Structure 1
Amino acid sequence: MTALLACDLDQTLIFSRHHFHLVPGVPEPEIALVERIDGVPSAYSSAASLRLLAALHRTAVFVPVTTRTLAQYQRIDLGVRPRYAVAANGGHLLVDGVPDPAWAAEVAARLAGACAPLAEMAALAGELGAEEWVRLVREADGLFVYLVAHTREAIPDLTRVAERVAAGGWALSRQGRKVYLVPEPLTKQTAVAEVARRAGATRVFAAGDSVLDLPMLTAADRAVRPAHGELHEQGWQAPHLTVTGARGLLAADELLGLLDAWVRSPCTAAPSTAAPSTAAPSTAAPVQP
């Protein structure tokens, strides 16, 4: 049986130092730099996570799945070279590191007429960009737009914005200092399903922390989310979901350990209880909303 592991990156497998969330006084685990931006260290994983990931890469089809643009994804080095990867929230399907043009054409055809055009949402983002809380507005690979706030705390209530976005067939997701406006038909899950088809996967396991991961997590045979992030703040649960006990950097070690156990187990059944299982508490500090 072939197992596929669809894993979100930011705040699931990789973290800035600001998001380690370790208890003060507890020794920092051995870490590894996985991303630089203009030569400056930006993101890290624990050494334990990278060892687990290397082992999983040998026993399953590991698929990094990210909302990052292609260029942003290509900055990351996890020490493995996955056969498949998904970037731009499903807009790019990479095979051996190269975007598949046939997939890009399929995505363009799917979006055409199914939702408001990018220009309309870019205009809305431009309106928001004039507000004091917004640091910058960016278009992502001609597929969606996102805003970066000066601080997470400065982001106002965006309920009415979300309603305007939804009316156009788009979705709003708030992740840390970033606010994403993404077409509803553009999902990580659609790309993951295509990878599973190509790889002949018989089991699919998924890990992620945000609303944009939700379709992928929902469709998986088993899913795990860390005890931090957008989905944790919303209290999302599902019968086949496990929530880590750890938060921040240590949550990645825990969820990769779970994925390894699921890959090794011949049984793929979800937990029998309606509520998700939750691992034992760890030494990670609570994440502030």
Structure 2
Amino acid sequence: MTPHTDGPGAAGRVLVASDLDRTLIYSAAALELTMPDPRAPRLLCVETYEHKPLSFMTEEASGLLAALAARALFVPATTRTPEQYRRIRLPGPPPRYAVCANGGRLLVDGKSDPEWRERVRERLTECAPLEQVRARMLRRAGAEWLLKERIADGLFAYLVVERSLLPETWVKELAAWAGPQGWNVSLQGRKIYAVPQPLTKSAAVAEVARRTGSTLTFAAGDSLLDADLLSAADVAWRPAHGELADSGWQLPHVRVVPERGVLAGETVLRRMSAALAQPHGATEGG
């Protein structure tokens, strides 16, 4: 396939790939507005669901993202399905490329790329079938804490749980079983994900870089499902909250912003913008 070289993302330009939920956008429960009310940042709603506001970013972060997307190729990289992703209205023009379903779907101008979808299907033959993993999750789940279960785009499974009632060791036990089956487990907010190991955001982002001729990649994320994305980037950032923070996960090229909640998203964008202004994307102290 001939690489696209028009506009942001042309050869030599920077590709910025970022997780969305709890990295750039936040539910009301995840905002962590701990400052006095008069000092709370102004918020912009970027997602509604069933006629109700669902996800937010600060107004300052909104401006930073729009400016960043005008200077680099911005690629949302999310575990959301395409349908869930399309509910979000980020500032600026719609991104040409978006990674959905944790790398299972590559959207190009809003449409799923069939070539990428077929390559994903081939890779998933390397691990245990989805139904086997789903059955294990449901068989071990407790009725007192399981709220609902879902299959995402026919690719992976997740449970929505009551965190206060979830046994402390349940996720670790599932992960210990799932690993040898070729699956990863991640706890994000109220959701427990089981995702095939070949299904990665980094692989889909690498495909976007190949198609666009991008030579430098920035990335951001907060969960264990973002670890491969951050690992593969040239420079990356993570907030002081989330699974990666809780586990102490770190690499030399991954910068940690000190903020938690919605202000972390703003700081990530500010530091990405500063790095973009420097030669070769260098950063000074993160």
TM-score (norm 1): 0.90
Q: Work out the CA distance in 2 between the residues paired with 1:99 and 1:122.
A: 25
Q: Is 1:15 matched up with 2:26? A: yes
Name the counterpart of 1:281.
none
Q: CA deviation at 1:129?
A: 3.9
Q: Work out the CA distance in 2 between the residues paired with 1:50 and 1:269.
A: 23
Kindly provide the CA deviation profile for residues 240-260 of structure 1, in whole angstroms up to 9, marking residues without a partner as x.
111112111111111101111
Which of 275, 278, 282 is the matching residue for 1:262? 275
Name the counterpart of 1:216.
229
Q: Is 1:87 matched up with 2:100? A: yes
Kindly provide the CA deviation profile for residues 124-166 of structure 1, in whole angstroms up to 9, marking residues without a partner as x.
1221345422111100000000011123553431222111111
Percent identity for Structure 1 against Structure 2: 47
Q: Work out the CA distance in 2 between the residues paired with 1:180 and 1:145.
A: 6
Which of 63, 68, 81 is the matching residue for 1:56? 68
Q: What amino acid is the match of 1:3?
A: V
Q: Work out the CA distance in 1 between the residues paired with 2:114 and 2:164.
A: 36
Secondary structure at 2:193 match in 1: strand
Secondary structure at 1:253 match in 2: helix
Q: Work out the CA distance in 2 between the residues paired with 1:106 and 1:57.
A: 28
Which of 123, 135, 138 is the matching residue for 1:126? 138
Structure 2 unaligned blocks of 5 or more: 1-11
Name the counterpart of 2:205.
192
Name the counterpart of 1:97.
110
Q: In the comparison of the two structures, how many residue pairs are matched?
A: 272
Name the counterpart of 1:253.
266
Q: Work out the CA distance in 2 between the residues paired with 1:70 and 1:254.
A: 27
Q: What amino acid is the match of 1:7?
A: S
Name the counterpart of 1:232.
245
Q: What amino acid is the match of 2:109?
A: D
Q: Is 1:42 matched up with 2:58? A: no
Cα RMSD, aligned residues only: 1.5
8 Å contact from structure 1 (residues 152, 176) kept in 2: no
Q: Which runs of 4+ in 1 moved over 6 A?
A: none
Which range is displaced more, 117-126 or 249-258? 117-126
8 Å contact from structure 2 (residues 144, 165) kept in 1: no
Which range is displaced more, 121-130 or 6-15? 121-130
Q: CA deviation at 1:22?
A: 1.8
TM-score (norm 2): 0.91
Which of 144, 149, 156 is the matching residue for 1:144? 156
8 Å contact from structure 1 (residues 9, 66) kept in 2: yes
